[in-house]
Amino acid sequence: MADARVIAVTGASRGIGAAIALELARRGFRVGCLTRGGRGPARGAADPDLARRLRAYPCDVTDEAALAEALRAVVREHGRLDGLVNNAGIHLRGPSERFASADFERVLATNATAVFRGCREAYPHLLASGGGLIVNIGSFFARLGVPHNAAYSASKAAVEALTRCLAVEWGGQGIRVVNVAPGYIETDLNRDFLRREAVRAQLAQRIPAGAPGRPEDVARLVGALFAEDIPFLTGETITLDGGQTIAY
Closest CA to 134 of 145, 150, 123: 123
> So which residues are the catalytic ones?
152
pLDDT tens digits, the chain, 248 residues: what are they? 445 899 999 999 999 999 999 999 999 999 999 999 999 898 766 788 899 999 999 999 999 999 999 999 999 999 999 999 999 999 999 999 999 999 999 999 999 999 999 999 999 999 999 999 999 999 999 999 999 999 999 999 999 999 999 999 999 999 999 999 999 999 887 888 788 888 889 889 899 999 999 999 999 999 999 999 999 999 999 999 999 999 97
CA distance 132 to 80: 11
H/E stretch holding 176 reads: strand 175-182
Q: What pLDDT score does 148 carry?
A: 96
Q: What pLDDT score does 189 carry?
A: 73
Burial of 28 (0-12, 13-18, 19+ CB in 10 A): middle
Parallel, antiparallel, or unpaired: how do β-strands 83-86 and 6-10 relate? parallel
**Domains (range + CATH), the chain:** 2-243 (3.40.50.720)
The CA-based diameter of the chain, rounded to the nearest angstrom, is: 53
> In a 3-state reduction of DSSP, which class is residue 118?
helix
CA distance 18 to 195: 21
